[in-house]
Amino acid sequence: MANIDASSAGIDVTSGEAHPRATLFTNSALNEDFAICNLTKGFSFDPTLVQTAFTFGGHVKFTGHSADFNSSLIGFVQFMSHEKAVITYLGQDPKAGHIVIDVGSAIGTSFLLDAFQHPQLPFMRPPGAIEGDGELLTSTGDHPVMSIRTVLRNTKTGAANSLFKILDVRRAVSIFTIRNAAGHFQHLTHVGWNLTYSIEFGILDGDLTVRHNLSTFTMDAVALGAPTNATFKGIAGPLAQLKPPLANVVAKAALTSTFTPGNPARRDLDGYPPGAPNDFEFTLPPITMQITHN
């Protein structure tokens, strides 16, 4: 009979080329402009072609025959928490007003199971492992993306308001785990990560552009065993249940509902909010060249 050496479990993280940003995009089918929060590795404007921006490789030593694990499921379970998600729009000037949409109020801050739709939930992707040098090996990856319309009509002022700021703060944990034939999980090791999209826009010569990108993406140290409330506040309940709702489904519904005029998460207001720039529309200073003579 095969046995897992849980003390040998680890996760190899590959994330060096993944840097958060926003990319502006015109959807010709909808005749509408969007800002897409994405990572610099693996992105495509075609959602079906987006690849993983970072990967996790789980590995654990075992004794016995790998065939003894044929009735087990080996892979990754992931949870996501949106700690904050607020989108702000500004009019051409304070008279045109501003719009604040608290998307996070509709998502909540609890950890939600984060997985693609497939028949073998709660695993993030369909589970599976291979044997290599006395270890069971499995991998997963992710690329969190969010698409935001760049122009909304302010229902209070009647003026068009353009995207000014995206603030989306996420905390996640990816867990290398094995489920035996009886359905019991053994969480071998985990890694937490933080992704913040913090991006400000301005209108340069009539076109929306990214003006400041203060976004961050960081990884925790890999730790043995299951995550706990000490490091991931509130994870114990969702981890015990391992059931939907799924983070992607909840976030997608929130992005639809909160942008609807009249939704309590959306506030269409006069004036500019505190901290708004006085040069939301700006031009670059002319380039001057200094000519020297020898």
* Measured distance CA(241)–CA(234) in Å, rounded: 12
Coil, strand or helix at 110: coil
Q: In sequence order, which residues have a C-beta less than 8 Å from that of residue 268 and are 6 or more positions away?
A: 97, 99, 154, 155, 156, 157, 261
Instruction: Please state, rounded to an integer, the average pLDDT across all residues of the chain.
Output: 94
CB atoms within 10 A of CB 277: 14
Going from N- to C-terminal start, the domains of the chain cover 3-273
Tell me which residues of the chain have a pLDDT lower than 70. 1, 282-294
Q: Look at residue 16 in the predicted model and tell me its pLDDT.
A: 87
Burial zone of 122 (CB within 10 Å; 0-12 exposed, 13-18 middle, 19+ buried): buried
Extended strands (E) in the chain: 3-14, 20-27, 32-39, 54-63, 73-90, 98-102, 112-113, 130-132, 135-142, 146-149, 151-153, 160-179, 185-204, 207-213, 216-219, 223-224, 266-269, 281-282
**Two tokens at 41?**
């590795």
Q: Is this prediction's pTM over 0.85? A: yes
How far, in Å, CA of 78 to CA of 176, rounded?
Answer: 9
Q: What distance in Å separates the CA atoms of residue 175 and residue 30, rounded to the nearest whole number?
A: 38
Q: Which two tokens stand for residue 152?
A: 């909304």
| 13-59 pLDDT tens trace | 999 889 999 999 999 888 999 999 999 999 999 989 999 999 999 99
Q: What is the DSSP string of 19-40?
A: -EEEEEEEETTTTEEEEEEEES
What local confidence, expressed as pLDDT, does residue 65 receive? Answer: 84
Query: Each residue of 189-219: pLDDT tens digit?
Result: 999 999 999 999 999 988 999 999 999 999 9
